[in-house]
Chains A and B, each alone.
Chain A
Amino acid sequence: METRVYSVKEDWYARITIAVAFIALLLGGVFGVLQVISRTPYWPNLYEYLAGLGIGGGASELYYRGLTAHGVLLAIVLTTFYIVGVSAYLTPRVLGVNIKPQTLNVSLAMMVIGTALAAIAIIFGWANVLYTFYLPLVASPLFYIGAALLILGSWVFAAGVFISYLEWRRANPGVAIPVTFFGIMTTFIVWIMATIPLVFIVLKNHVPASLLGWEADALESRLFFWWFGHALVYFWLLPAITIWYYYVPKALGVPLFSETMAKIAFMLFILASTPVGLHHQLVDPGINPYFKYLQTVLTLIVASPSMLTAFNIIATMERAGRAGGGDGLFGWLFKQPWRDPVFTGLILALITFGSGGITGIINASYQLNNVVHNTAWVVGHFHTTVGTAVVLTFMAYTYLLIRDLYGRNVILRNVSLAVPILWFVGMMIFSISYYTAGLAGSPRRTSIVTYGGSIPPEWVLPMQIAAIGAIIFSLGGLIFLVQFFGSLASGARIPLTQPTLVIMNPHKPGPATILDNIRLIIVAAIILNIIAYSGALIEIYYLRGLSPVPPIHP
C-alpha cells in the first residue's frame, strides 16, 4: 500500500521546536561550562568575577541560578522541544497520516509561552530552586505557571499523535504498528502517565505554597515529584531508542534484527517506567523498606528493555557487518559505516548508555545507594544517560534533519565526525572522574567544595580531570551548534520538492499481534502503579499523617 502525505505543517512545527531545543542547548551549555570550571578545586571561580561586576546576589547565588537554568534548559526544554519536533517529523512519514494542525498550533504556542515565563523567573533569580524544585523551597508562581504551560502544551501535541494513531488504525485494521511509530507512541504514553502525578502535586502543594504561602509536606511532595521524575528519564530516552531502531537498520541497509524484541522492549517500558520513583528516595526517612524494595525490583525490570535494545541494535550491526564480509569474532565491527557521523553518533550514544545503565542499576540497588546518594557519582551517571545517550543521539540525528527538514547543506561537513567523538571521549573522562570523586564523598549541587577552608585531597584530582573532560565534550557541542545555526543561516539550499512528498509503509507490515494491543499494556501499567505506590501513600497519608511546613524562598 502506498500513501502520499504532505507534511508541510508538521515540518514547519518540527523546524521551530528543534531550533528552540538547540537554543536551549546553547544557553544551558554555557551555564554548564561556567559551573564546572567554577566548582573545580583550584580553578578560577568564574561566578566570582561575574558577581564582582555587580550581577546578582553574590557568587553562590549566581551559581545556583545558573544551575537551575542548566537543569531546566537541558533536561526539560531541550528534551521536550526536540522530542515533540522529531515526533512531528517522523509521524506522517512512518504512519502516512497527518497530525491535526490545530494541535500543532496550540501546543507550540503553549510550550513557547510557558518556556518564556519560566525562563524569565529563572533569569531574574526568582526561582533558585534547581530543576527538582523540592518544597518547602519555593519559586515565584511564574516558574510553576511556565512549567505547567510547557507540559500541558506537550499534552496537546500528544493528543495529536494519539488521534493520528486512531485514524491510521481505522484505515489499517489488523495491521501491525510500525516499530518507529510504536516508539513515538510509547514515548507519549509514558509522558502522560509520568506527568499526571506531577501536575497533581504542583497544583496541590507548589502553587498554593508559592501564591498563598500555604504549608506543604516535604515527604509527600518528593514522593510525587519522583513518581514523575524517574518516568521523565524514559520520556527522554524512548525517542533516542526509537531513533536507534529507525536509523541504524536504515544506515546499514538491513532490517532490524528483531522487530518483536523491539516491541517487547517498548511494552516493558510502558509497563515499568512509572512505578519506580521510590528508588530516588531510598535514603528518605518515612517510607517502609518493603515498599522501597518492591520498587527496586521494578527498577531492575525496567532495565531489561534497555538490555534488549542494546542486543537488538548490536545484533543488527553484526548481521550487516557479516553480510558485508566481516568475519571472525570482531571482523564485522570494522565493516560498519563509521565515517557517517550520524551512525557513529548513535552507536557512541548507545555505548555510553551501557555505562549509564550499569551505574543506574548501582544507584537503584538499595544498599549501594547509601554510598552514592547525592554525590558527584550521580552527576556522572545522568550525564551518560540523558547527557549522552539522549543528547548525542539528538545531535547526531539532526545532521540528517538539517538536510531533510531544513533543506540546507551542513556547513563544515568535514568536521562533523569530530562532534560525536569529542562528546563521547569528553563524557567518558567526565563521568568516570565524577564517579571517582563521588565514591570519595564529593557532593553534587554545591557551588564550591571547600569546607572549613580546605578541600578533601581525594576529591581534587578527579574533579580537575572531570572538568577537562567537560571542556572536551563542550567543544564537541560548540562545533555542532556552529554547524546547526550556521547551516540554517548560510548553508547552501537543497531544493526540497515542495511540499515535501512522503511515501511510506516500508517493508509490508505483518498482521497485528498481541504486541500491538496498546490498551492492554496501559491497563497493566496502571495496575502496577497502584500496587507499587499504594503502600507508601497509605503510610504517608493515614498511618503517620502529614507534617506540613511553611514555604521558604531560597
Chain B
Amino acid sequence: MESREAVFEYIWILLIVAVIVGLSASMAYYGFARGLNPTCEAYTLEEARKAGISLEPGVREVGPGIYEVTIDARQFTFIPREVVLKDPNRVTFRVYSLDVIHGLSIVGTSVNIMVLPGYVAEFVWEPPKNAKGEFLVLCTEYCGIGHQLMYAKLVIERSSAQMAGGG
C-alpha cells in the first residue's frame, strides 16, 4: 500500500516537471525563435531627442501599407484621438507619456502595452489580414480620477483589391 502510494507521488512530481519544462520550452521557442515577444523597445525621451526621432503625434505612411504611428498618451486622452490606417501590413507604434503611467490596448487585438512617463514605447504590429473596421483603444492603467474617460479610435480600412487578394 505504502509503495503504491509513493508511485503516485513520483508520477505527480514528474507531471509537474513536464508541465514546467514543456511550457518554458514553448515560450522560449515562440519568443526567441519566432520573435513573438510580449514586449517592446523603449528609449528615454532624452535618447529620442538625441537620436532625432520625431515625437510629433500623428500617422505617417512611409511605404505602401507601412505606417508609423506616434501617440501622446496623457491625462485623460490619447493624441491623436483617431488613427486611420488603409490596408496596413506593418505598423510601428511609438507611444509616450509626459505625465503619469498609462496603458494602451487595442480591444480585440493582441496589442496591449504599458506606457511609462519619460519613456517612448516602440513596438511593431502586423494587423491580421481580416482586421477591418473600428477598434476601441483604451487606457489600461489607472492614471487619475478621469482614467475611465481615456480612449481613442483605430480605423482599419481595406480596399476591395486587398480583401480579394490577401483574404
Contacts and interface: CB of A to CB of B under 8 A. Distances in A.
16 contacts: A61-B145, A218-B101, A219-B42, A219-B116, A281-B114, A282-B39, A283-B40, A284-B114, A284-B116, A285-B41, A285-B123, A293-B32, A367-B30, A449-B148, A544-B43, A544-B47
Interface stretch (B16-24, B60-68, B84-92, B154-162): B16-24
B6 to A, nearest CB: 9
B100 A60 contact: no
Contacts of A64: 142, 145, 147
A72 B87 CA distance: 47
A371 B110 contact: yes
A300 B141 contact: no
B147 A452 contact: no
B38 A297 contact: no
A516 B98 CA distance: 51
Contacts of B45: 547
B43 A60 contact: no
A257 B4 CA distance: 13
B38 A370 contact: yes
Interface stretch (A146-154, A199-207, A440-448, A501-509): A440-448
Contacts of B113: 283-285
A366 B145 contact: no
Interface in A268-303: 281-287, 289, 292-293, 296-297, 300-301, 303
A539 B58 CA distance: 30
Contacts of B122: 285
B138 A218 contact: no
A375 B74 CA distance: 20
Identify the interface centre among B5, B12, B38, B44: most chain A CB within 10 Å of its CB. B38
A37 B11 CA distance: 46
Contacts of A293: 27-28, 31-32
Contact of B38 (A369, A375, A452, A552): A369
A451 B24 contact: no
B70 interface: no
A42 to B, nearest CB: 16
A289 B39 contact: yes
Interface stretch (A84-92, A129-137, A484-492): A129-137
Nearest to B27: A366
Given A57-B145, A293-B32, A443-B138, 12 more contacts: A58-B145, A128-B145, A219-B42, A219-B119, A283-B38, A289-B39, A292-B39, A366-B37, A367-B36, A370-B112, A451-B136, A544-B42
A482 interface: no
A217 B145 contact: no
A373 B112 CA distance: 7
Given A60-B146, A285-B42, A456 B136 contact: yes
A440 B122 CA distance: 24
Contacts of A552: 75, 99-100, 144
B71 interface: no
A130 to B, nearest CB: 5
B145 A60 contact: yes
A213 interface: no
Contacts of A545: 44
A29 B122 CA distance: 40
A300 B19 CA distance: 9
A308 interface: yes
B117 A549 contact: yes
Contacts of B46: 547
B166 interface: no
Interface string A7-27: 000000000000000000000
Contacts of B146: 60
B57 interface: no
B147 A445 contact: yes
B141 A134 contact: yes
Contact of A304 (B16, B27, B42): B16
Nearest to B46: A547
Contacts of A286: 42, 116, 119, 121
Contacts of A258: 9
A177 B15 CA distance: 28
Nearest to B147: A446
A134 B140 contact: no
Given A285-B40, A366-B27, A366-B38, A261 B9 contact: yes
A70 interface: no
A375 to B, nearest CB: 7
A307 interface: yes
A315 interface: yes
A478 interface: no
Given A441-B138, A452-B151, A304 B20 contact: yes
Contacts of A218: 100-101, 116-119
A547 B148 CA distance: 27
Contacts of B142: 64, 130, 134, 137, 445
A311 interface: yes
Interface in A303-348: 303-304, 307-308, 311, 315, 319
B128 interface: no
Contacts of B5: 257, 315, 319
Nearest to B6: A258
B108 to A, nearest CB: 6
Contacts of A451: 136, 138, 151
A446 B8 CA distance: 46
A554 interface: yes
